[in-house]
Amino acid sequence: MSIERVGVIGGGLMGSGIVEVNARAGLDVVLVEVSDEAAKSAHDRIVASLERAADRGKISPQDLAAALERISVTDDLERLADRQLVVEAASEVEQVKLDLFRRVGRILIDEDAILTSNTSSIPIVKLGAVSGRADHVMGVHFFNPAPVMKLVELIPSLTTAPTTMDRMRAYVTDGLGKEPIEATDRAGFVVNSLLVPYLLSAIRMYEAGYASAADIDRGMVLGCGHPMGPLALSDLIGLDTIRAIGISMYDEFKEPLYSPPPLLDRMVDAGLLGKKSGHGFYPYG
């Protein structure tokens, strides 16, 4: 039974990209945001991104129009009732996600419907436990920008049924044309467990005055062949999201390298969230 009707919760950086990926793959997508205004601005972001893809010749004008036809946006969670798969991509706040899983677990009509989270660090087993359908809950972790990045981490929890995992593997590979890797339900999974301590170390280095932001980034781009330096990458991911992931990983493992440095706390408190807010370690026009 292949997945044709998808719901996405949260249309920020990740959610809007996930909507685009699904619509371009020919799936019908309903996006739910917190308000009508937030839903409309998520829709504008998706349209702009699809138009950029068309300008670059990645999709034809016909495919652009067809993808847009498949997307609807709303602020009403009940619109998810007929979905076969929901991908939750709301802010990385445990209470927000618990509340959504509690509600959406009961809104979905199809008893085979799968409820997933794009969380970077919140235990999947907790989300399953409140959903009333723990065997149909797992993590599906896309990478930023979702329309470009090939990798998807698949995270079954202790309570996920093997058939749920099989269907999600088929959805990611055959449905979306992406490459899955499997990780256990531990904060950070594979990629963030390695990446986040590196990013936090770069922020600590900058905080301690070792070098300028530009030189730290140039060091890793020119010295290690990374496509982007750690501070520019932090800005791209979102400093609030990195901070939240670091806190979850520190809570779980008590490893000092995962603990967010004071500068990161202060920047988040000041609303300097990186590219999405217009300013982080660098300004964005």
**Which residues of the chain form contacts with ligand NAI (CB under 6 A)?**
9-15, 32-34, 38, 89-92, 96, 100, 118-120, 141-144, 237-238, 241, 276
| CB 14 to ligand NAI: min, Å | 3
3-state secondary structure of 211: coil
List all residues 6 or more positions away from 139 whose beta carbon is below 8 Å from its beta carbon: 116, 117, 118, 119, 124, 153, 154, 155, 156, 157, 183, 185, 189
Q: Is 153 noted as a catalytic residue in this protein?
A: yes
- Nearest-CB residue to ligand NAI? 12
Annotated catalytic residue, options 33, 88, 92, 153? 153
Q: Is 69 noted as a catalytic residue in this protein?
A: no
| CB 246 to ligand NAI: min, Å | 11
Name the residue nearer to ligand NAI (CB basis): 33 or 185: 33
Name the residue nearer to ligand NAI (CB basis): 68 or 96: 96
| CB 62 to ligand NAI: min, Å | 29
Asked if 20 contacts 49 with a C-beta cutoff of 8 angstroms, the reply is yes
Annotated catalytic residue, options 131, 192, 193, 234? 192
Angle between the N-to-C axes of helices 124-131 and 94-107, in degrees from 0 to 180, rounded to the nearest 10: 40
Annotated catalytic residue, options 16, 118, 120, 157? 120
Name the residue nearer to ligand NAI (CB basis): 143 or 253: 143
Core vs surface per residue 142-172: b (16+ CB within 10 A) or e: bbeebbeeeebbbbbbebbbeebbebbeebb
Q: Is 120 noted as a catalytic residue in this protein?
A: yes
| CB 192 to ligand NAI: min, Å | 8
Residue 121 per-residue DSSP state: S
Catalytic sites, residue numbers? 120, 141, 153, 192
